[in-house]
Structure 1
C-alpha cells in the first residue's frame, strides 16, 4: 500500500502538467461577442475606393484618410449604430467613398453650402442634428456661431467623422427604405439614395455601390 501511495504522489504533478491550460479567451460568451463584432478590412475599403491606398494625390492632406485608417473607424460606426446588414453596410460605405472622393476629403470645397461635410458629406442641417446626438460635443455645437464651427467639432474626431453615414441611415431613413435596402437589390439601393439621402442614383454612385457589394460579399 505504501508503495502504491508513493507512486501516486509522484505522478500527481505530472498529471497536472498534462492537463490543457485554461485559455482566458476561451469563454464561449467572449467568443460569441467577438464573432458578432463587425470588422471591415482595409483591403475591402481599397476595393471599394481604389484611391484610398495612400494620400499622395489628396488635395488636402489633413483631411485625407487611407483605407487602413478608414476601415477601423467605419467598423466602429457599424458596431455603435448596430448596422449588421451587409447590404446596408455596402450602401453606406459606397456613398461615403463617393462623396468624400475615396476618403480624401471631409469638407465640401466646391462653391456650395458652408458647413457641409463629414465623410457622408452631410448638409449643415444634418450635421447639427448629428452633433446634438453626441453628448460630449452637443453643448458646444449648440453654442457654435456658424455651420463651419459645428463641422469642425465633427471632423476633428475620427469616430464622429466616419460615423455620420451609419448615424444617418439609422436615424434619418424610414423603416420601409431600410427594409428595401436590406434586400440587397438595386431597387433597394436606389430607394436609399433617392428617398433617404435625397440625391440622384446615378452611374458613378452605382459603381461605388457595386464595388462595395462585391467587396463585402
Structure 2
C-alpha cells in the first residue's frame, strides 16, 4: 500500500494535540489520506469515536482494514511503510536520540499537559506556573537545544530535516506560544524560540490553524 486507503480520525484542531502529531507527519510527507474530524465537545462524541475505534480515543489511522490507534504507533507505522519519506533520521545516532525524544514526549511532561492544554488559537500568557510545569518547560528547552546543537547543523528542525520528533513536539511549541511566549527565563538562548518559529512557518501548521478557525466558526 502506498497510502491509498488511509483514513485518519482526529479531534478538534484547536485542542487535540495528539491528533496534530500524525496529521502533521502525513501532510509534511505528502502521503495522501482521508481526514475524518470528530467534535470532542459534542454530546455524542464517545459514540462517534467508538464507530471508528473500540479504544474510544483519537487519533486513529485506518490503513485499509488495519487499525492503528495510538499517535506514536501511527507515526512508527508510517515510517516503516514509507521508508522513502525519511520520517526518522538516517544516521544511527541521530535516529536513536530522535526516538528517545519522541518517546519522552509520549510518556512524559504530564504537568505541562495538564496545566497548559493545547489551544492553538489562543494567547494566554501565564505569569505564575507551578514548579512541575516549570521543570517540564526547562527540560523541553534543554532537549531542543541539545538536539539542535548535536544534529541540527544541516537544517532548521531538531535533526536538521523534519522528522517524527518534530511532529511529536509541535503541540508543545503551540503550548509555549499560547502560555509562555518568552522562554529566556527557562534557559533558552534563542534556540527554542527559533525552533518554534520554524514549526509555525510550516505551511502544514498554517493549514491546521486555518482548520481550527473554520471549526470555531462552524461551532459559533
Q: Give the TM interval when normalised to the shorter protein.
A: under 0.3
Select the structure of larger CA radius of gyration.
Answer: 1
Query: Which structure has the highest strand share of the two?
Result: 2
When normalised by structure 2's length, the TM-score is 0.27
TM-score by length of 1: 0.27
More helix, by proportion: 1
